[in-house]
Amino acid sequence: MVRFYQRTPIMKLLAPLACLCLALALAWAEDLHASAVLDRCKGLEMDAVAVNEEGIPYFFKGDHVFKGFHGKAELANESFVELDEHHHLGHVEAAFRMHYEDEPTHHDHMFFFLDNKVFSYYQHKLEDGYPKDISEVFPGIPDHLDAAVECPKPECEEDSVIFFKGDDIYHYNVRTKAVDEKEFKTMPNCTSAFRFMDHYYCFHGHHFSKFDPKTGEVHGRYPKEARDYFMRCSTFSENSDHVERERCSRVHLDAITADDAGDLYAFRGHHYIHKDEGNDTLLADTIENDFKELHSEVDAVFSHDGHLYMIKDEHLFLYTVGEPHVHLDGYPKPLKEVLGIEGPVDAAFACGGSDIAHIIKDQHIYDVDMKATPRVAGNQRPISLFKKVDAAMCGPGGLKVIVGNHYYHFESVMLFIASKALPEQHRVSLELFGCDH
């Protein structure tokens, strides 16, 4: 090949192009390499974890960050440009979000620790004067940290930050800057730590333990697999208990519905949960197993007249409610043809016995009269309470709207649309599925 270039003038012209192609191919291969290596479903040890201002967890690994519970790694410097201007510092070793309302200068700032420096970001913008030495901002706290997590009152005695290095633990009082060195005897060395929904998690390897931030005590059966609870993977570790995992997972649901008998079906990624109305027994299985045609990752499900209407992208799959769930001939059909609306949609529900199906798409809700032919999605109304609804279900008790880890209860669809204030927050894992933490 090389000889060929040298002989033919045209090839000489092409040679730089070939170089460019090679460079591109190499860059591509590198990229591929990075994302292949950084598959969090294969079990990664994260360097740092912190939630952002909106409560979305950011998992840091090397140059990369994983946002939320699923999705690919992004380069950390795309979100936090300045991390790269100090390249010699290496990668993020520890991170936390300051979350103390009576500490207005730092409230909701994200702090990143690299080597001996600390970076303070507010809404992804580096604060003036940062990075600073860790010893300047957090006197008494060592460099080269392993992990950090905020601990507000009364979960800690004072508004604090807990820092981890090896098996050393430091409680840093945000107000007085006093440092209290503690020993958490039974807890493993944390490589990252975070506070999520008022619980404290220490990650070590690709496992985690929930701990008491005051004493460091670990109660219950830990360590557990981080993938099972904080990541949305198509397959899990071999000995993963499907029921326990799905019941307690912090990953948001895709869809949920109850059939006419009150049995509940909740879908998440490749799995679903079935709760029997009669005896509250919870079963978990793969979607593939019981709804083969659907395979996984459904957008919305509602039940009507003995059938489960399951929506995925632009298609509608129709199953019978009884077991085994039979997929009706001629389906999937285009969603537009069956319900008169274009996908993708966010959530769908029908209130027990009613012939009206409600579809939520972006920040609007639509009604579809199931008795009409052809069916149309009409009566569009805006939803003011939520930016994005993950799933919704309706039954004799009213409407449950699920957003992230929480659900909200409304007496009726009308009240949901008319409400100006958020009702009480309920926890999906605890109150819907009976997870004990």
Ligand X SMILES: *[C@@H]1O[C@H](CO)[C@@H](O)[C@H](O)[C@H]1NC(C)=O
Which residues contribute to the site for ligand X (CB under 6 A)?
Answer: 63, 75, 77, 84, 166-168, 189, 276, 279, 281
Strands of the 426-427 sheet, one edge to the other: 391-395, 398-403, 406-410, 426-427
Cβ nearer to ligand X, comparing 48 with 401: 48
- Measure the CA–CA gap between 114 and 48, rounded to whole angstroms: 10
* Shortest Cβ 25–ligand X spacing (Å): 16
Cβ nearer to ligand X, comparing 189 with 237: 189
* Shortest Cβ 370–ligand X spacing (Å): 27
* Shortest Cβ 53–ligand X spacing (Å): 23
* Shortest Cβ 371–ligand X spacing (Å): 31
Cβ nearer to ligand X, comparing 80 with 366: 80
* Shortest Cβ 105–ligand X spacing (Å): 28
Cβ nearer to ligand X, comparing 162 with 341: 162
- Measure the CA–CA gap between 84 and 91, rounded to whole angstroms: 9
Task: Output helix, strand, coil percentages for the chain, rounded to the nearest 5.
Answer: 20, 35, 45
Asked if residues 147 and 191 have their Cβ atoms less than 8 Å apart, the reply is yes
* Shortest Cβ 205–ligand X spacing (Å): 10
Cβ nearer to ligand X, comparing 176 with 279: 279
Cβ nearer to ligand X, comparing 123 with 279: 279
- Measure the CA–CA gap between 359 and 378, rounded to whole angstroms: 10
Cβ nearer to ligand X, comparing 55 with 166: 166
Asked if residues 77 and 86 have their Cβ atoms less than 8 Å apart, the reply is no
Q: How far is CA 293 from the centre of its chain?
A: 26
| Residue, CB closest to ligand X | 166
- Measure the CA–CA gap between 255 and 342, rounded to whole angstroms: 18
* Shortest Cβ 106–ligand X spacing (Å): 26
* Shortest Cβ 258–ligand X spacing (Å): 14
DSSP 231-290: ---SS--TT--HHHHHHH--SPPSEEEE-TT--EEEEETTEEEEE-TTT--EEEEEHHHH
SS3 state of residue 274: strand
Cβ nearer to ligand X, comparing 95 with 187: 187
SS3 state of residue 239: coil
Q: What is the largest CA-CA distance in the chain?
A: 83
* Shortest Cβ 34–ligand X spacing (Å): 8
Asked if residues 287 and 272 have their Cβ atoms less than 8 Å apart, the reply is yes
DSSP 8-state symbol, 313:
T
- Measure the CA–CA gap between 355 and 428, rounded to whole angstroms: 27
Structure tokens at 140: 């008494």
Cβ nearer to ligand X, comparing 166 with 397: 166
* Shortest Cβ 216–ligand X spacing (Å): 13
Cβ nearer to ligand X, comparing 168 with 288: 168
Q: How far is CA 102 from the centre of its chain?
A: 28
Give alpha helix (H) positions in 76-141.
76-79, 134-137
- Measure the CA–CA gap between 322 and 67, rounded to whole angstroms: 38
Give alpha helix (H) positions in 123-268.
134-137, 226-230, 242-248
CA dihedral (151, 153, 155, 161) in degrees, to 10, reads 20
Cβ nearer to ligand X, comparing 148 with 311: 148
* Shortest Cβ 163–ligand X spacing (Å): 13
